[in-house]
Structure 1
């Protein structure tokens, strides 16, 4: 994950976002690498941004 984020930065991306279900354990992984919840699109999903 960190490698992909670095690749995107190297290619000039200023922002990266994704959507994940709240019950998915990977939410913790995304937070550890710097993603933050910016929106809750419905009762089941988070929109995350780095």
Structure 2
């Protein structure tokens, strides 16, 4: 039972790390997309 509980905790910890990493990646993707939109808007305005 203790081993099973430890395994569950390890799996939950791994899932939390994966979720946090996915959130960071998504945030970076959103930031990059926003930069791209801003750059495109800047190019359109300057031309």
TM-score if structure 2 supplies the norm length? 0.25
Which structure features the higher share of strand residues? 1
Which structure features the higher share of helix residues? 2
* Larger relative contact order, structure 1 or 2 (CA cutoff 8 Å, min sep 6): 1
